[in-house]
Chain A
Amino acid sequence: MKVAIASGKGGTGKTTIATSLSHLAANLNHRTVYADCDVEEPNGHLFLKPDIRDTRSAGVLVPVVNEDACIHCGLCGDVCLYNAIVTLGGRVLVYPDLCHNCGGCALLCPVGVICETSHEIGTIDRGKSGTLQYIAGRLNVGQISCTPLIRAVKQDIPKADLVIIDAPPGTACPLIETLHDCDLALLVTEPTPFGLHDLKRAVQVARTLDLPVAVIINRADIGNGDVRDYCASESIRIIAEIPNDRRVAEAYSQAKLITSAIDEYTPLFTGMLADIIEYGKCTN
């Protein structure tokens, strides 16, 4: 099964939970993959310290114009809503970083002088951390759109019993691309007004995709009861509450997995994992 660990708001503990759960699942002999789809800021490797065995370039198709045969009709520039291709002064200029890779210019060119070539937008690392399989996308600095890279990471995810996806923050296209085809969205939040505001948006996105949701409340003993009230009123299951523990913050700041750093957290995470796996059985 594929579980996406997401949160509308950044910094709620998404990566901490995703890495600890993945590590634990692998140690309990589940064939597990940790997939980092937070491609703008992939940080899972800091905690899992994987042995990277393969890095590949991930690209998108961008146009190349054979200017010698071009009749400079300007159609390509007219159909491109992203201004990535412009005809000017008898030349055709292509700006790959504005291109959304729709292929329209190549398709519609009346004289067929536009072909497409791959343009790197990021890299995909694959490796292992113990028995845990690791895969992560890393967007090149200055690239605008990360959804094609997320799509590429997801296509490269090896077969496994359990895939834990570290989702990008926010509630927009990158999250939608990540949640697509998942079996469960596990939303990590904090019991604060900001946490609640962003949780509501994440729930809306998951529900738009008809994806079941469950919630993990992190730093559960801070803030107020509004997140719990909201979950109760929306019939959203809270599968775990993680206390606000300075030791957790310290483990995080030392790039340690919670379950490795603090023994007493193992039962909590084991319970969470059992819940998730049970959930997968019910839906399959």
Chain B
Amino acid sequence: MHELTIISGKGGTGKTTITSSFAVLANNHVLADADVDAANLHVLFRPQTLHAEPFSGGYHAEIISAHCNGCGKCREICRFHAISASNGQFTIDDLHCEGCGICYHVCPENAIDLAPASTGDVITAQARCGPMVYAELNIAEENSGKLVTQVRAQAQKLAKQHDCDTILIDGPPGLGCPVIASLTGVNLVLIVAEPTPSSMHDMQRVIELATHFNIETCICVNKWDLNQSMTADIEKCAEQHGVQLAGRVRYDQAVTDAQVNGKAIVEYTDNEAAQDVRRVWEYVSQRLR
């Protein structure tokens, strides 16, 4: 089984553009959208949902008002300012509750319930490019390493069922736990950078992370012609970190047009930008073997 994670650090560099094209170009693969906070691959592919598995992460506390004597101990000890009272009625604000459960322990009346919090669903679906897994979060819930792990586990299960040899993982932004969970144990990481100072800054932080986990890493520079000297700087910086260049993709209006038409760029056109993406895939698929 070969697992590839596509990641960018900063959002908006074209990670989903690249991933969606890979999903179309690859044979015999499962697509996993681990960018749970902004899961966009299903917006593009509009897959048919086969199965939704509820996902819970952490806990939420709730006050059973019938048992509450209004002593206010819970509010006193809550570090997250999640408990408030009006007219002697104590309530817990789910948005601020961290689920630590300490109120549950201090309540002298056992008036606080602590139950697993439902955060969303892990969805197994069939897209035109093959089987895919993504997650839908309830509002104000957040991606977590555990959820990414679950999305990846479901993708691995699907890959076994369908006898697929490759898993493409669209990674989350940032550097936190979800990113780490999307990187650990994969065969290759592709960083999608763009020639901007922010992207270069973030790319270096992502490279540090991938190096820390001893994962093979390569980069591609999207919209490279927007600032050729910055592209050269990015490539040089990657090289200094021992990271190889998978290719460059030029800036092209057709990328947005493809998205509006619900297509990956390589499905929408065979222009030069689409060919750039194809070449990056050729490089990456070679490295994966």
Contact = CB atoms under 8 A, between A and B. Distances in A.
Q: Do A and B bind each other?
A: yes
Interface of A: 8-12, 15, 40-41, 43, 46, 79, 81-82, 100-104, 107-108, 139, 141-146, 169-174, 176, 192-194, 197-198, 201, 204-205, 208-209, 219, 222-224, 246, 249-250, 252-255
28 contacts: A10-B12, A11-B10, A11-B11, A12-B11, A40-B174, A100-B98, A103-B102, A104-B102, A108-B102, A108-B106, A141-B175, A141-B205, A144-B176, A145-B176, A169-B37, A170-B143, A171-B137, A171-B140, A172-B143, A176-B95, A176-B140, A193-B259, A194-B16, A201-B139, A250-B226, A253-B197, A253-B226, A253-B227
Given A103-B79, A108-B102, A141-B209, A197 B43 contact: yes
Given A11-B13, A103-B79, A107-B106, A223 B256 contact: yes
B43 A81 contact: no
Interface of B: 9-13, 16, 37-38, 40, 43-44, 58-59, 77, 79-80, 95-96, 98-102, 105-106, 137, 139-143, 173-177, 194-198, 201-202, 205, 208-209, 223, 226-227, 230, 251, 253, 256, 259-260, 262
B176 A107 contact: no
Q: Closest 6 interchain pairs by CB?
A: A11-B12, A10-B11, A172-B142, A102-B100, A104-B102, A170-B37
A170 B175 CA distance: 13
A139 B98 CA distance: 19
A201 B137 CA distance: 10
A101 B43 contact: no
Contacts of A223: 256, 259-260
A106 B58 CA distance: 21
Nearest to A13: B12
A10 B173 contact: yes
Nearest to B119: A172
Given A11-B12, A46-B198, A253 B259 contact: no
Contacts, number: 163
Nearest to B41: A194
Contacts of A144: 176-177
A171 B260 contact: no
A193 B143 contact: no
Contacts of B43: 193-194, 197
A222 B197 contact: no
B12 A102 contact: no
Most chain B beta carbons < 10 A, residue from A40, A46, A141, A197: A40
A198 B117 CA distance: 23
Name the residue among B59, B80, B141, B251 with the largest chain A CB count within 10 angstroms: B80
Nearest to A80: B100
A13 to B, nearest CB: 8
Contacts of A46: 197-198, 201
A25 to B, nearest CB: 22
Given A102-B80, A144-B177, A194-B43, 12 more contacts: A12-B12, A40-B174, A41-B10, A43-B198, A103-B102, A141-B205, A145-B176, A170-B142, A193-B262, A194-B16, A197-B40, A222-B260
Nearest to A255: B197
Given A10-B11, A169-B37, A204-B139, A40 B100 contact: no
A169 B100 contact: no
A172 B58 contact: no
Nearest to A78: B105
Nearest to B100: A102
A81 B197 contact: no
Contacts of A174: 142
Contact of A194 (B13, B80, B259): B259
Contact of B10 (A10, A141, A143, A201): A10
Contacts of B141: 172
B196 A252 contact: yes
A172 B39 CA distance: 13
Given A46-B201, A100-B98, A224 B260 contact: yes
B75 to A, nearest CB: 14
B226 A79 contact: no
A140 B253 CA distance: 37
Contacts of A208: 95, 139-140
Contacts of A143: 176
Contact of A205 (B140, B176, B226): B140
A223 B43 CA distance: 14
Contacts of B16: 194
A173 B227 CA distance: 35
B194 to A, nearest CB: 8
